[in-house]
Amino acid sequence: MKPSSLHNVYLRFKPLLLMVLAQLSYTFLYFITEASFNHGMNPHVYVTYRHIVAGIAMFPFAYFLERKIRPKLTLALFLEIFVLSLVGVTLTLNMYFASLRYTSPTFVASVVNTVAAVTFVIAVVLRLETLDLRNARGMAKVLGTLVSLAGVTIMTVYKGPAARNPGHPPIHIQRNNIIQEQWLKGSFLTIASSITWSAMYIMQAITLKRYPAQLSLTTWMCFLGAAQSAVFTVIVARKPADWRIGLNIDLWSTIYGGVVVSGLIVFIQLWCTDKRGPVFATMFNPVSTILVAILAYFVFGEKLFLGRRYMSAMTPESYPAQVTTWMRPFWGSITSICLHSDPSPYTI
């Protein structure tokens, strides 16, 4: 194969590979933050520190690499980024990580799959995505959205008996069972964060048209999100001990969440959103769901409840295994959407 052909293949698969890398990073994030929270770290303090670290790490790259392409920051544009940070960082992540204390990584990762469905609905309403019900692609999108929302709804309200763990887990995370068994509260927070997360993807796609400097936008979101979260955290976490952090899992989870996830991964998502649209960036959440479930059950010894395991068949990560003969054309259409090389990112 010629070098030019290899380069073209790489360019075609680059967004897909980057989003898979992002989901691998999210998988590790679930467990390292759960360990930190069970160690005693306040989730809201974590969100604040994490974005301070991310902003400091991203600032030099944004300042030097985008000096010539960064548009002028007007007051209207600043307010738009402020609202984007409020929705995408302050509201989404504070509810998201608080829900992790009340449920489990597997449950949170499963419910987050609704982000793709909700993002698709909002994108269609705002005409960021075009929907044609006369072809297989459009039908596959609608069917996947309905089945995903139905599956996650049942997973939230129904909790069956726990499946027996096959053996002693090699890694044990000490959990606060009193906190973690508040499933109703945790479910509400997870669903609410998924809705605001979907809104963030849509808002990012709109903001990127006016402010196409992805590194600078990531940096602004980190600093503004950290400031907003700090104000909220001061209200809910008044003890000075909540703000202390030592050379332990709390520090490492903050550095990883800041540099890798809030910095690098958010930049990757912004780039993919700019190239392929907001729905594309959310279609890969099932990858982390599968990895989280496998690691949680076999490595960390987390309980998997039969009701949620069976109902997870209705979330997108199970589609490849559940495709029957009559569904194969729809699955082929979904695959073609992921690999579609049309330079117009908002057309299906």
Could you report the per-residue pLDDT of 243-292, keeping only the tens digit for each? Answer: 988 888 899 999 999 999 888 888 888 888 888 877 777 777 777 777 77
CA-to-CA distance for 172 and 348, rounded, in angstroms?
44
> What residues contact 272, with CB distance under 8 A and at least 6 apart?
15, 18, 19, 280, 281
What is the phi/psi pair of residue 279, to 5°? -70, -40
28-31 long-range contacts, CB within 8 A, separation 24+: 28/256, 29/256, 29/257, 29/260, 29/261, 30/100, 30/105, 30/108, 30/109, 30/288, 30/292, 31/105, 31/173, 31/292, 31/295, 31/296, 31/300
Instruction: Please report, as a single letter, which amino acid is at residue 58.
Output: M
Could you report the per-residue pLDDT of 70-99, keeping only the tens digit for each? Answer: 999 999 999 999 999 999 889 998 888 888
The whole-number mean pLDDT for each consecutive block of 10 residues of the chain, a chain of 348 residues, reads: 72 86 86 84 91 93 90 93 93 85 72 76 77 75 70 58 59 51 76 88 88 91 94 86 87 92 86 80 73 70 54 39 33 37 32
CA-to-CA distance for 106 and 129, rounded, in angstroms?
30
Q: Give percent of the chain with pLDDT exceeding 90.
A: 20
Give the Å distances, CA to CA, from 257 to 253, 267, 269.
6, 13, 15
Kindly report the length of the chain: 348
CA-to-CA distance for 346 and 202, rounded, in angstroms?
11
> What residues contact 320, with CB distance under 8 A and at least 6 apart?
331
Instruction: Please report, as a single letter, which amino acid is at residue 38.
Output: N
- Which H, E and C letters describe the chain, residue by residue? CCHHHHHHHHHHHHHHHHHHHHHHHHHHHHHHHHHHHHHCCCHHHHHHHHHHHHHHHHHHHHHHHCCCCCCCCCHHHHHHHHHHHHHHHHHHHHHHHHHHHHCCHHHHHHHCCHHHHHHHHHHHHCCCCCCCCCCHHHHHHHHHHHHHHHHHHHHHHCCCCECCCCCCCCCCCCCCHHHHCCHHHHHHHHHHHHHHHHHHHHHHHHHHHHCCCHHHHHHHHHHHHHHHHHHHHHHHCCCHHHHCCCCCHHHHHHHHHHHHHHHHHHHHHHHHHHHHCHHHHHCCHHHHHHHHHHHHHHCCCCCCEHHHHHHHHHCHHHHHHHCCHHHHHHHHHHHHHHHCCCCCCCCC
CB atoms within 10 A of CB 324: 7
According to the model, what pLDDT value does residue 55 have?
93
Give the Å distances, CA to CA, from 185 to 101, 103, 309.
10, 9, 20
According to the model, what pLDDT value does residue 166 have?
61
CB atoms within 10 A of CB 108: 24
